[in-house]
Structure 1
Amino acid sequence: MANFTLDETRALQYHRALVGLLRTQPDLIKRAGEQLERMRLKTPRALSIWQRWESILAMPLDDLAEVILEDSPAGGHLRANSPLGNALTPAQRNRIWRAIGMQQFVDFFLTAANDLGLSATEQACLTGIDEAEISQWFRYPPDDVTPPVLARLKDIVSIQRALRGLFDSMDARQSWLRAPHESLGDAPLAVMMSGNLDAVREMLADQLRPTLERSDLPRSM
């Protein structure tokens, strides 16, 4: 069961990255259709799944994404029999795996932002990324971000992990972030929103010395 879960997790990550690739390279749909025909000829008894995929490939991108990224047994079955992956060129496949590394790091950021109770407006201010773009990261994680943005994302993840080491509850972490702090001269979140994430991160580092593990970082870094 553990192996199935791991494989399904990787398949979901892979298809999330594939959806992002489809936005910029729509010719992939045509090649996926050609791959689907080869799969249909090779395994004709699986007619129902091939017919399902045929209808999916004809959908608008947002509808296609919703179906193939569905977190359910039906979604998992589709991903396990997907014509999309084998339609990629080697260069596209390499790009996918780089995107998955970034996707994993973006997931760390989104988890940290939720744990800290950061609103969409606060996330946009802290990262320098537009609110609308961040809202799309759940479905279309970015292939890459600029070094300054990546540094800010890392600071937010580091701050959240440090606070997890100091406070057991999410409520306590969120309260600490918004309450005035004598050594900072203001609430930590206010200091962060002013652009000085380093001051908060370094103050916490003095107390806890948190670091990101190498496995936590995108492979491209």
Structure 2
Amino acid sequence: MRGKLAVAGGVLLLAVAGCGGGDADTGSGLADPVGRGFPIVTPPSGSQPSSSSELSPIPVEETAGAAGMGPAGTGTARPSATPGAVGAPSRSDAAVTRPAAEAPSPSPAVISGYSACSEKGGVALTATFADGYDYRHVFLDTDGDPSTGYRVDGVAGGFGAEYMIEDDGLFKSSGADWSWKEVGGGGPLVSEDAGTYRWRVKPAYAGDEVVFGAATDGGDEVTSPVVPVEAC
């Protein structure tokens, strides 16, 4: 009981000393932290913080986890975001490179390599035909009028043929429909080799333009564009 009274008396005595402007006390080396009128409290002598060298080290496992690393000693960084988390790229966000679709191979032309060449004494006609057709034709326009002779279907601007070659025969048109009369004097076919046909006719039968054609017994027919007769 007496010890407690002694401590209380000591505190009261310090308070009276502070109220009296006692800032000349330099024994502790500390300034009044709040202002005049309050005692300076010094920390207990046994509670001073230890030096940094005496601090216990943080376990390696804890430092690795805090730094976002993998298990201790591996040095493997953890992913910044888990799959499907907000902000993580999804499959639809990522650029996907797909192989370009292969373009289909073009179908071979039914009629190719066609030409009409005028030379002295005649007109040479040449064209190559694909397999699968029963007849090879050359339609010849001698008057330049698309409204006369046989009207060839599928030709831009129209085409009227006064004469027609079918394989090794030469025929003259008898009207706009499929009506022909054979012209005598020998066949116009010169040669045929691997689908390439060569014909020769007199200039009077050729005119200035021709159209090559291929047809089947079933009525399917393919024609070339209009081919002008040019000098060889």
Please tell me the TM-score bracket, short chain as reference.
under 0.3
Instruction: Return the TM-score normalized by structure 1.
Output: 0.20
Using CA pairs below 8 Å that are at least 6 residues apart, which structure has the higher relative contact order? 1
Instruction: Return the TM-score normalized by structure 2.
Output: 0.20
Of the two, which has the highest radius of gyration?
2
Q: Which has the higher strand share?
A: 2
Q: Which has the higher helix share?
A: 1
